[in-house]
Amino acid sequence: MRNGTRRLVRALMSASVLSFATAATWSQTLTWLGTLGGNYSGAAAVSNNGVVVGTAADGSNNSRAFRWTQATGMQDLGTFGGSHSSAFDLSADGSIVVGWARTSDGYWRAFRWTQSSGMTNPGNPPFGNYSVANAVSADGSVIVGTYGTQGYWDDVVLWTSGGIQYPNTGYPYNSFAKSISADGSTIVGHAIQPGFSFRAYRYRASTTEILAPLSGYDHSVANNISGDGTTVVGEYWNSAERRAFRWTQATGMQDLGTLGGNFASANGVTEDGAGVVGRARNSGGQMRAFHWTAATGMQDLNSIYASLLGGGSFLSNATSISPDGRYIVGVGYNAAAGRSEAFLLDTVPEPASLIALGAGLAGLVGLRRRKQA
């Protein structure tokens, strides 16, 4: 019996070593993504397979759009002849990136980037000098953005396989599009009403739904929409404070709470609308990245993942969460590098099978010791 137990324990220990080695890729990790040679970077969006896009400084501290993967590191996506560009979103598989880039004569132009074609302009609206692509559908076939003239934005624009379209949100010359659902059917953003009050909106099937702030607040803007198109996140505010919100047709405008301060903004949301990320001030006035669910409320990512942060480092803003909720990206302070830097947080927990194996191994080791005693 004792020899049989010993053999079983040894077998489980061998399996455990193999499992722990294999499980390294399953561990929760925080990766600082670096820069393009300059002194800052920030992540804007992340896909389910961990591809990240955003903006980073090059060696001359010009802002440049980047795409990052574990295999390639940070890649400069270029410009249209000018010195600056920014990437804001990517397709579900990370192969298509959208944003804006400056031309040699100083104008902003929307871009669509792929590895094979590089940075291309999907078409510039004839009504303004500037355009920006803010979001893209899951398959990359629909891009949403805004066009305008120098000094202000005019209205919403869609780039599709059928050409450029101009959705009628009901607020011509005062509408800004921020995000789009996975299937490209639903747009969110904000419009400026008479009196210069901001209003978040959700546009679907030629119908605009205004998402007014809660009573006592003056403005609202929508920053993102869930992949299924049902959940909108953003912020509303008055002169005294700013609050993060989550909206669905069933619940209406829902306040997400605070971290103790007077500022909160929701930036990203999962495919099903259950998980939200953003930034909020804590009771000490410091801006910190947060994660929210209905079960947990608003939580400081720095507290949840304190073991992953080195001394002096912190996460100040969570800008996006992958559709499945595994990855969170944003910007924080990397104390080792002494700069603000894009981060990729892999939140996946240890596999349940590994936890069960460890518990079983501990129990058998204890049994062996008791028998030997």
* pLDDT band, very low/low/confident/very high, at 356 (cuts 50, 70, 90): very low
Q: Which of 89-98, 154-163, 267-276 has the lowest mean pLDDT?
A: 154-163
Please state, in angstroms and rounded to a whole number, the distance separating the CA atoms of residues 82 and 270: 35
pLDDT at 351: 55
Instruction: Dump pLDDT digits (tens) for 34-60.
Output: 999 999 999 999 999 999 999 999 999
* pLDDT band, very low/low/confident/very high, at 9 (cuts 50, 70, 90): very low
Please state, in angstroms and rounded to a whole number, the distance separating the CA atoms of residues 190 and 201: 6
Query: What is the mean pLDDT of the segment spanning 167-185?
Result: 87
CATH number of 28-349: 2.130.10.10
Query: What is the mean pLDDT of the segment spanning 248-270?
Result: 97
Q: Which of 182-186, 227-231, 334-338, 368-372 has the lowest mean pLDDT?
A: 368-372
Per the model's pLDDT, the better-predicted residue between 172 and 240 turns out to be 240
Please state, in angstroms and rounded to a whole number, the distance separating the CA atoms of residues 60 and 234: 34
Q: Which of 52-61, 145-154, 259-268, 338-347 has the lowest mean pLDDT?
A: 145-154
96 beta partners: none
**DSSP secondary-structure letter at 269?**
E
| SS3 (DSSP) at 89 | strand
Tokens linked to 123: 């078409």
Angle at CA of residue 64, ends 158 and 127, nearest 5°: 30
> Domain coordinates of the chain in residue numbers?
1-27+351-373, 28-349
* pLDDT band, very low/low/confident/very high, at 129 (cuts 50, 70, 90): confident
Number of Cβ within a 10 Å radius of residue 63: 20
pLDDT at 310: 87
Q: What are phi and psi of 197, to 5 degrees?
A: -95, 140
Contacts (Cβ under 8 Å, ≥6 apart) of 268: 45, 223, 224, 233, 276, 277, 278, 318, 319, 320, 321, 328
